[in-house]
Structure formats: structure tokens, C-alpha cells
Amino acid sequence: MERIILAAPRGFCAGVAYAIEVVSLALKIHGAPLYVRHAIVHNEWVVKSFEEQGVVFVEDIADIPSGGVVVYSAHGVAPEIRRQSKERNLTIIDATCPLVTKVHNEAKHYAAKGYFMVYIGHRGHVEAEGTMGEAPDRMVLVETPAEAERLELPHYDKLAVLTQTTLSVGEVRETMEVLERRFPHLHRPAKEDICYATTNRQSAIHELARECDLVLIVGSTTSSNSNRLREVAEALGTESHLLLTPDQVRPEWKTDYRRIGISSGASTPEQLVEDVIGELLSGRNDVPIDVLETVKEDVTFKPSRDLISLAMAR
């Protein structure tokens, strides 16, 4: 190993930082136990850290005591989840990423205007379930270009397309091309649904993969955007692996590769990246670490003033 190259940007996006801050504020206000519907972000390290502080993660609203407090995760929830929360008289704190909320609002807008929608996303992903829940009778999911080719729709005068925020830019482009060819009257939102952080991190991987003979993505296997980063590097012909902890570093990575590129998913704490680098170096001080910066990010999302004021009062 001659060199380690770090991608920039990498790691936490504004939506993840926002969700983590919201849970931290909610803990100050309400104390433990604090219930969060679904993992706040898709990273086991972050989830475990909150569990140690008394946060309880649940999938079913029925598992939260009536009259309790619920935080919605960064991935958003369907209206049915909100209905169940009100039914149980829960205090709701919403940590949904504003960029996911944007797609929910688009779904509501199109449904109100009489559109039928095609949603490009991954089946079973909590973000997809939340968005599709906004108009379950007016939306169908497609996951791949091949599925888009096979898609059969009854005739609709108004047809629109929405996208999960964490998908591969290239994969969405291919699927979109198929849909637009097959359904020429398909309407697209004015702004792209794939979030800025997903796009920026995938663009950085394009540059990193050209410079390196091995690309490591630090992130969880449950993280959609982390998986997409590994796939992007692999599609460019560079060997790539997804790992979360330093004990997953393989001995041959230290000896058989000259230039190792490292990035991390949008829900990955920087400490995990540092731990992986520490294991790769394992006492060596002759390996330079360079940063390959492709774009500067300055996006931030702030919790509500009321939430911050309540936390400060405690």
C-alpha cells in the first residue's frame, strides 16, 4: 500500500445530521425511554449509541405506550403511521429529512391533481413505503430498467414519476429513459428527487475509482446510499467492498493494493472511517493520506426553534 485517498464529500449528509440532532434534543426534553419509529438512520453504530442513552427503536406504533413520545426517523412515514400515532395520543417529533419530505409533498400534489405515479425505488425500503403511503392507490413501484420495460399501466391522462432519494444516479437515468420512451406524457418534478448528498458522493466515487485499484466504502449493509457507492465504484471496473468496522479489513488489502480509496455512506460517522484507516495503517507512518475533493457542501437543516428552546430550558 503506497497511498490512501479519501473522498470528499463523504459521510454524514445534512439530513442525517439533522435527524441525529432532533433525537438528541428530544432526549433532553423528554428523557428516557424515548421511542423512535424505525432506525433513526441506517447505521448500527449510531443506533447502538442512542440505545445506550435510553432510546427504544420500534417498527410498530402499537409498541409505544399510549400517551408517549415518538420520533419519526429520517426516512419519513406514511400517513397511516401518523394516524396510528394520533390514535394512541402520542407526542410526535418529526426527524424526516426535508428532502424526503419534498418527495412526499410531490406525491400529495400529484395525487390531488389526479395523476397516477410511477415510483422508482427499492421494494421494502422504509423511505419507499413512506412515500408510497401518501397515495397507495395511485402509485406503482419499479426497481430496474427491466421492470420499467415490463410495466403495464391502464391508461391515465396524467402520469408522473417520483424517485427514492438515495438511489444510484446512473440506475435512475436508465430507468427514467425507459419510462419516458414508453410513456411520453410522463411528468417529472421541477427538481431532481435524488438528494444532493447522494449525487455528490457518487460523483466523488467516479473520481476516486479512476485513481485507485481498491475502493472501500465504510457504511452499513442496510444503508441504501452506502450500497450504491460500492456499486458505482464496481461498475467503473474498480474492486470495491462495503465494511462497517475495522475488524472487517482484510490482510491482503494492506499488501496487494497500491492506492486505496475510501469513502463513506451518508449515515456513517467519521469515527468509523478513522477506525478503518487506523487498521489499514496498523502502525505504519510511511503511507500518505490524500483528500480528493470534488465539491464543497454547505447544506444544513436546523431543527425547529420550539424544539431547541425546549431543550435549552432543560
Complete DSSP assignment for 151-176:
------SSEEEEE-TTS-HHHHHHHH
195 within 8 A of 15, measured Cβ to Cβ: yes
Span 18-56, pLDDT tens digits: 999 999 999 999 999 999 999 999 999 999 999 999 999
Q: Is the dihedral of CA 198, 200, 202, 208 positive or negative?
A: negative
Which strands make up the sheet holding 3-8, listed edge to edge? Answer: 240-243, 214-218, 259-264, 3-8, 289-293
- Average pLDDT (87-97) is 97
For residue 305, CA distances in Å to 3, 38, 53, 76, 94 come to 45, 25, 24, 21, 13
Answer yes or no: is pLDDT of 190 > 90. Answer: no
Grid cell 431543527 in the structure block, residue: 303
Q: Is 114 left (phi over 0), alpha (psi -120 to 50) or beta?
A: left
Question: What percent of the chain is modeled with pLDDT above 70?
Answer: 100
How many residues make up the chain in this entry?
Answer: 314
SS3 7: strand
Task: Evaluate if residue 94 carries a pLDDT over 90.
Answer: yes
Q: 207 falls in which pLDDT band (50, 70, 90)? A: very high
pLDDT score, position 37: 97
> What is the spatial distance between Cα 107 and Cα 156, in angstroms, rounded to a whole number?
16
Give me the chain's average pLDDT, please. 95
Q: In the predicted model, is pLDDT for residue 136 greater than 90?
A: yes
Q: What is the pLDDT of residue 157?
A: 87
Is 52 marked active-site?
no
How do residues 220-264 score in pLDDT, each as one tens digit?
Answer: 999 989 999 999 999 999 999 999 999 999 999 999 999 999 999
Say which of 51, 106, 127, 207 is annotated catalytic: 127
Number of neighbouring beta carbons within 10 Å of residue 151: 16
